[in-house]
Amino acid sequence: MNGALGSIVTIATAIVGVALLAVLVSKNAQTPQVVQSFGNAFTGALQAAVSPVTGGTGLSNFGSQQLSYSI
């Protein structure tokens, strides 16, 4: 059973990987904005994590950037 489950997980991972690649290289993709958004979210989470030690404000500006898109 482990062999079958491993094969299913491998196939599912490959499908998700191909879908992710297709979305990132699509003509309608806003890859720079998505990467920047993830970077901002990571920075905010990191600041919140170290704020008890550094005396920072934590999540003061987390989520302050609005994402917009057009169809």
Domain ranges within the chain, ordered by starting residue = 2-54
> Which residue type does 62 have?
F
Q: What is the pLDDT of residue 15?
A: 95
Q: What is the pLDDT of residue 32?
A: 82
pTM over 0.75: no
Q: What is the pLDDT of residue 53?
A: 83
Q: What is the pLDDT of residue 11?
A: 94
Give 20's Cβ-side CA count (13 Å radius): 7
Q: What is the pLDDT of residue 54?
A: 81
Q: How far apart are CA 50 and CA 58, in angstroms?
A: 8
57: exposed, middle or buried (Cβ count in 10 Å: 0-12, 13-18, 19+): exposed
Q: What is the pLDDT of residues 17-58, one digit of tens each?
A: 999 888 878 888 787 887 888 899 999 888 888 888 887 665
